Structure 1
Amino acid sequence: MSYQEILSVIAGSFAVCILCQWIAWWMKLPAIIFLLAAGIFAGPVSGLFNPETLLGDLFTPFVSLSVAIILFEGSLTLRFRDIMGLQKVVRNMLSFGLAVTWLISAAAAHFALDVSWEIAFLFGAITVVTGPTVIAPLLRTVRPVAKVANILRWEGIVIDSVGASLAVVVYEFIISGGGREAWGHTFAAFAGIIGVGGASGAVGGYLFGLMLRNHLIPEFLQNVATLGLVFICFVTANSFQPESGLVAVTVLGVWLANMKDIDLEAILEFKESLSVLLISLLFLMLAARLDFTAFSAIGWEALFVFVAVQFVARPVNVILSSIGSQLSWPERHLLAWIAPRGIVAAAIASLFAIRLEAAGFDDVGYLVPLTFVVIIGTVSLQSVTSRPIARWLGVALPEPRGFLIVGANLVAREIGKVLQDNGFPVQLVDPDRQKVMKARGEGLKSFSGHPVSVYFDRHMNFSGTGKMLGLAPNESENTAAVMHYRLEFGKNNVYALDTGKNKGRKDNNSMTQRRGQILFGTEVSYKELASCLESQGQIRTTGLSDRFSYDEYLALHQDNAIVLFFIDTRDRIRIVTHHNKIKPEPGWKVIALIRNKADRTDGSSA
């Protein structure tokens, strides 16, 4: 390839990855569907893209390091305190439940395609993994009850590294040649992988954590230093014990995630962008390497393997893992249905296939196409059917009552508290960690980070959340949140507070799309609300009745009340906006900011 052709392929690959991610976000589907389609078209269909020709000898190291970064990403979000109460089911699914899935998948591959037991067991080990990159988009669409959502999320994060380690052990058994000596070699390799990988990750995580805690690394170097640490741990572990690098980066991430008094927010923000890029490029490249002749070679028997994985292995896993738990049968049924395979399965299959081909194994050609059949089949089927099945089982959440609030400032906290006090769950998000800690101290569920980010989308639980309130003082932050979440919650369920810059500006459809519905009207700005609250104003909830109508309420307060919300007799919230004409009735509640703290003659509650 000429220099210009190489540049064109690289630029085109980036453009296609961004386009696929954007389409997936717009359609609320896993990006893997569109990345696989694009890779298959660019590679085996049109022949426009051959990653091995482009990268040459760098292709395998690129895949290895990319998988290491992706596993580090998942483990860096794994905090032990978040799994309290769910640990039994998750532990079972990651131990003997995983073993059941592995053995059933391996047996299906062996008997359906007549591949050797060695390759069948490797296939089974590879396809036990799911991963947050495919689970998170499904959960946002399905909106299952909290127990199901939490179990699936934690399984997806942890099983990547567990499944990868299992695949490494099976791989070591295969290359050692089988037999008694192979068993000894495998156990020795397993011990070496766990020992060297665990030690490398723990030592690296502890030392790096100390440096972060004592501010020995300046902020502008923390992101690249973390990336360098991942590479160093991965390569160092592999140099002492082959294939232990994946365990090392996983332990490294878990150690940092659970180490006290260190701030990882900036690292997480950088990591999410890098992970999106690597995941997109990996899927595109791995799909482009697919050989249609290999698919035709495995034939329709591959569908039998897919059926065994989807309809036998997963249900048996969940049934055994949930024995003695408090999960209802409908919740277990939904858990048994959702287990899409993702990027780690594709990457590990391609990586080991390359190595086994070089070692002279004949039937390894089945490994990659069969893995992709399971990936495409599980993602496509479950993306389309999971929401209807959840509704049919009665484990999909009803009309969501919760609020995502952008901002953790004084206005956001006070509004969040009054909504929470009236039975509407809230989640606050703000990049200012100090404000977030203050919100948590006031009893509000809060998240430190940027509201428009892949990390936030992937790791926040939106179950039960149906509306977004943009309460940040920065108009650009509110606008970005409105544009991002209008496809998540619907354009009629995203609201943004006027920051004061748009007073008197004529509203139009374009502005409404960008700014969402204007909270509390165009005459109420963030500055005004903040000023009232700082001057001892209070947000109060007042009940209306036949004896105390809304007109009397307004007459009592005159111009002293800024009406924010209404709650009707069916406990539904009505949000005051710039064009929403609401006529409250007896039995409703009024939520308003009262400027004068001394004005409490209506019997309202603060």
Structure 2
Amino acid sequence: MSPEVGLLLVCMLGVGFLAQWIAWRVKLPAILFLLLAGILLGPVTRVVQPDSLLGPLLFPVVSLAVSLILFEGSLTLRFSELPDIGRAVRGLVTYGAVIAVAMLGVAAHYLAGLRWEVALLFGALTCVTGPTVIAPMLRTVRPNARIANTLRWEGIVIDPLGALFAVLVYEAIVSHQQNHAVGVFFALVACGAGIGLFAAWLLAFFLRRQMIPEYLQNYGALVAVLLAFTLSNVMTHESGLLAVTVMGIALGNMRGVHIDDILDFKENLTTVLVSSLFILLAARLAWPLPDGMLWGGTAVFIVAQLVVRPVTVAIATIGSSLNWRERALIAWVAPRGIIAAAVSAVFALKLDSLGLAGARDLVPLVFILIIGTVVVQSATAGPLARWLKVAEPDATGVLIYGADLAARRVARALLEAGFRVIVADEHWPSIQRARMEGLSTFYGHPATAYAERHLGLTGIGRLLAMSPHRERNALACVYYRQEFGRGRIYRLRIEDTHEAHDRTRLGGYLLAPALFAADMTHERFNERLVDGWLIKSTRLTPTFDWPNFIEQYGSNTVLLFGVEERGALRVASVKRELEPRPGWLVIALVPPQRLRPHA
């Protein structure tokens, strides 16, 4: 490999990182910036020409990358979660998805001129949304919890199911194109599914018995996926993608198999693969587009946005608890993402190699739909949600990291004051107690990749880091500083000695304002609660103001929060000394001997 080629590949990785970083900063799906970067580097400037850059390695590289993307996506599907996702989501990911595939296929055939085989494959590829495009949009739109949960679960569940459906449609096309009988198609499906199941069982066998050391488990899983993909293709041509999809679904649903580390590794690897792959594939787009493709693709996008999605949602949500306003917003939001872009490219390459007419039109049509849905919906979903009155007001809710006694009492006080509260912790017994007390909980650290997928932050705008682990508190504060803003994260100090000693004091950029009083620590807060101190909420009046409250309950009372008359939450911290006014609801920690009603 020449130095120029190596430099070009490294620069492409750098551009992928930059696109991901910009997406993180502006809270938009990364796929939009990746595709635009690829178009600029490829068709516009001709800096990157993938066919000459990789030559005969292009097809194997794309195929292996897509196999890993499909495996990672299918690994997140849990059958145990399907009964709990609600009637609307079940409808959207089952018969709703079938309706969407059929209608999108018809639109692609009549409006973009695709052959029926390619049109149906287009429908199967573009019926999916996916969490990587839904999550950033939900953060910007901030719909109510029912809409957010429906869209989030639809994206999580339909991602692997849509990939599986697309693979099956592709296998049917290949069998038909090669003049194979129906029996050959079923044999192909059986081979791919069989190898996928066997590979999942074999990997689970080694993992359960700890026959692979932890530091090699990610490496072993990577080898197993690529081996299953390659072996399946060797045994039955074009069955590899089905094998890795089935392997991921099977492994993700096996009991007693610890796959969290594997999943995290695959997510990180997928981020690199997706970033590079999207730029590479977008750079291959022919420009100008084939005759009629721009207008045909635009027409398909309009039909998908204004007809297909509304009809699908209307049918799939019949009998659900969603009202018409919520259904209307769900019918508008359906951005396409990773699976559609990545899998369409490899399918187009394979079908083109088989000589199928119109295969090359698949990728630009998919990309037009992706760019159209992401751009239009990102710009309009927020105003539409506010017009329909289904958007959450300002994010007033609170995420509390920590579930011990102090955190649970604070969470209960805020909940009773009318704020949405989520308690997160890795300590399962504490989470169990929080659930028994009626608190919304998240089991795990809120700064993990798992939390990014499953922790619904709709309506949440503050972080209180109150766990007994100083470094984990700091991690949560750093992670959510960009999400909520520097002025909306707080932490409860752990020990005075740790804070005072230069050898143990964390850097200022790792810290957030200390909660409550200057001398309040995690240990002292819990000790006072054990000693009988209580968290009391009282509405101040002109005749019973804050000085009267202090006189009533004692000068050692600790002010925790203040809620203004219009409902705004004020957090007491060492950097903000609150001055409660008449009309405020004050939440304070008061000593037991002073607990008596005021006159």
TM-score by length of 1: 0.86
SS of residue in 2 equivalent to 1:468: strand
Match 2:414 to one of 419, 423, 432 = 419
Structure 1: distance between partners of 2:177 and 2:52: 34
Structure 1: distance between partners of 2:406 and 2:307: 52
Query: 1:363 — aligned with what?
Result: 358
Structure 2: distance between partners of 1:245 and 1:431: 38
Measure how far apart 1:404 and its partner are: 1.7
Structure 1: distance between partners of 2:593 and 2:403: 27
Q: Are 1:566 and 2:594 an aligned pair?
A: no
Residues 214 and 421 from structure 1, CA distance in 2 versus in 1: closer, same or farther, beyond 3 angstroms?
Answer: farther
Whichever residue aligns with residue 357 of structure 1, its letter is: D
Residues 204 and 410 from structure 1, CA distance in 2 versus in 1: closer, same or farther, beyond 3 angstroms?
Answer: farther
Residues 110 and 494 from structure 1, CA distance in 2 versus in 1: closer, same or farther, beyond 3 angstroms?
Answer: same
CA contact (8 A) 2:167 2:241 kept: no
Measure how far apart 1:116 and its partner are: 2.4
CA contact (8 A) 1:89 1:322 kept: yes
Structure 2: distance between partners of 1:106 and 1:520: 59
Q: Unmatched 5+ residue regions in structure 2?
A: none
Whichever residue aligns with residue 185 of structure 2, its letter is: A
Whichever residue aligns with residue 576 of structure 2, its letter is: N
CA contact (8 A) 2:70 2:163 kept: no
Identity of aligned residues (%): 42
SS of residue in 1 equivalent to 2:464: strand
Whichever residue aligns with residue 290 of structure 1, its letter is: L
Structure 2: distance between partners of 1:461 and 1:484: 15
Query: 1:336 — aligned with what?
Result: 331
Measure how far apart 1:575 and its partner are: 0.9
Query: 1:515 — aligned with what?
Result: 511
Measure how far apart 1:340 and its partner are: 1.0
> Aligned-residue CA RMSD in angstroms?
3.3
SS of residue in 2 equivalent to 1:427: strand
Query: 2:56 — aligned with what?
Result: 57
Range 124-133 or range 584-593, more displaced: 584-593
Counting only pairs closer than 5 Å after superposition, residues 577-596 of structure 1 correspond to structure 2 as 577-585=573-581, 588-594=584-590
Counting only pairs closer than 5 Å after superposition, residues 121-200 of structure 1 correspond to structure 2 as 121-177=120-176, 184-185=181-182, 188-190=184-186, 192-193=188-189, 195-200=190-195
Query: 1:298 — aligned with what?
Result: 293
Measure how far apart 1:156 and its partner are: 1.6
Query: 2:25 — aligned with what?
Result: 26
Measure how far apart 1:130 and its partner are: 1.7
Counting only pairs closer than 5 Å after superposition, residues 149-548 of structure 1 correspond to structure 2 as 149-177=148-176, 184-185=181-182, 188-190=184-186, 192-193=188-189, 195-209=190-204, 211-295=206-290, 298-408=293-403, 411-430=406-425, 444-473=439-468, 477-499=472-494, 500=496, 501-502=498-499, 511=508, 515-526=511-522, 528-529=524-525, 532=528, 536=531, 538-544=533-539
Residues 284 and 93 from structure 1, CA distance in 2 versus in 1: closer, same or farther, beyond 3 angstroms?
Answer: same
CA contact (8 A) 2:563 2:585 kept: yes
Structure 1: distance between partners of 2:65 and 2:34: 16
Measure how far apart 1:308 and its partner are: 1.4
Deviation readout 1:390-421 (Å, 9 max, x if unpaired): 11112212233321223445544443344345
Measure how far apart 1:135 and its partner are: 1.2
Measure how far apart 1:338 and its partner are: 1.0
Structure 1: distance between partners of 2:36 and 2:285: 11
Residues 25 and 544 from structure 1, CA distance in 2 versus in 1: closer, same or farther, beyond 3 angstroms?
Answer: same
Structure 1: distance between partners of 2:264 and 2:406: 25
Structure 1: distance between partners of 2:206 and 2:428: 20
Residues 252 and 430 from structure 1, CA distance in 2 versus in 1: closer, same or farther, beyond 3 angstroms?
Answer: farther
Structure 2: distance between partners of 1:41 and 1:214: 50
CA contact (8 A) 2:175 2:184 kept: no
CA contact (8 A) 2:66 2:346 kept: no
Range 126-135 or range 164-173, more displaced: 164-173
SS of residue in 2 equivalent to 1:599: helix
Q: Are 1:602 and 2:596 an aligned pair?
A: yes
Residues 202 and 47 from structure 1, CA distance in 2 versus in 1: closer, same or farther, beyond 3 angstroms?
Answer: same
Measure how far apart 1:529 and its partner are: 3.5
Residues 283 and 436 from structure 1, CA distance in 2 versus in 1: closer, same or farther, beyond 3 angstroms?
Answer: farther
Structure 1: distance between partners of 2:463 and 2:518: 18
Measure how far apart 1:319 and its partner are: 1.3
Structure 1: distance between partners of 2:274 and 2:88: 29
Whichever residue aligns with residue 75 of structure 2, its letter is: L
Measure how far apart 1:323 and its partner are: 1.8
Counting only pairs closer than 5 Å after superposition, residues 91-102 of structure 1 correspond to structure 2 as 91-102=90-101
Whichever residue aligns with residue 566 of structure 1, its letter is: G
Whichever residue aligns with residue 120 of structure 1, its letter is: A
Measure how far apart 1:264 and its partner are: 3.5
Q: Unmatched 5+ residue regions in structure 1?
A: none
Measure how far apart 1:385 and its partner are: 0.8
Whichever residue aligns with residue 94 of structure 1, its letter is: V
Residues 191 and 152 from structure 1, CA distance in 2 versus in 1: closer, same or farther, beyond 3 angstroms?
Answer: farther
Measure how far apart 1:530 and its partner are: 5.2
Measure how far apart 1:228 and its partner are: 3.0
Structure 1: distance between partners of 2:408 and 2:239: 46
Structure 2: distance between partners of 1:272 and 1:207: 22
SS of residue in 2 equivalent to 1:294: coil
SS of residue in 2 equivalent to 1:519: coil
Measure how far apart 1:378 and its partner are: 0.8
Range 371-380 or range 97-106, more displaced: 97-106
CA contact (8 A) 2:13 2:276 kept: yes
Query: 1:550 — aligned with what?
Result: 546
TM-score by length of 2: 0.87
Whichever residue aligns with residue 350 of structure 2, its letter is: R
Structure 2: distance between partners of 1:57 and 1:70: 21
Structure 2: distance between partners of 1:329 and 1:345: 29
Q: Are 1:575 and 2:571 an aligned pair?
A: yes
Range 164-173 or range 438-447, more displaced: 438-447
Residues 450 and 53 from structure 1, CA distance in 2 versus in 1: closer, same or farther, beyond 3 angstroms?
Answer: farther
Count the aligned residue pairs: 591
Measure how far apart 1:571 and its partner are: 5.0
Structure 1: distance between partners of 2:343 and 2:74: 17
CA contact (8 A) 1:330 1:393 kept: yes
SS of residue in 1 equivalent to 2:288: helix
Structure 1: distance between partners of 2:266 and 2:431: 21
Deviation readout 1:320-354 (Å, 9 max, x if unpaired): 11122222111111111111111211122211211
Structure 2: distance between partners of 1:386 and 1:372: 20
Query: 2:66 — aligned with what?
Result: 67
Residues 438 and 207 from structure 1, CA distance in 2 versus in 1: closer, same or farther, beyond 3 angstroms?
Answer: farther
Structure 2: distance between partners of 1:153 and 1:384: 19
